[in-house]
Amino acid sequence: MTKKKNFKIFLIVLAGCFTLTTTAFAIQLPDSPYPYSVTKTGRCKRDKTSICTIEIWLAHKQKKNNKAIRKELKGKSIKTLRKTIQYWKPKGGHPPTNIAIGGGISAEDARYAIDLALKLNDNIDGLIHQKLNPPNYVAIATSAWDAKSETKISKESLEKLRNPNLKSEEFHKLYRELTGEANVAPAFY
All structural domains of the chain with their residue ranges = 28-182
The more confident residue out of 2 and 50 is: 50
Residues whose CB falls within 8 Å of the CB of residue 139, separated by 6 or more in sequence, listed in order:
54, 55, 56, 99, 100, 128, 133
pLDDT of residue 182: 82
Q: How far apart are CA 141 and CA 20, in angstroms?
A: 29
Residue 88: pLDDT above 70? yes
Q: Tell me the pLDDT tens digit for each residue of 109-149.
A: 999 999 999 999 999 999 999 999 999 999 999 988 899 99
Q: How big is the CA angle at 113 (ends 41 and 122), to the nearest 5 degrees?
A: 150
Q: Which ranges of 32-186 would DSSP assign to H, the alpha helix?
A: 66-75, 107-121, 155-161, 168-179
Q: Tell me the pLDDT tens digit for each residue of 28-83.
A: 333 344 444 444 434 566 677 899 889 999 999 999 999 999 999 988 888 777 78
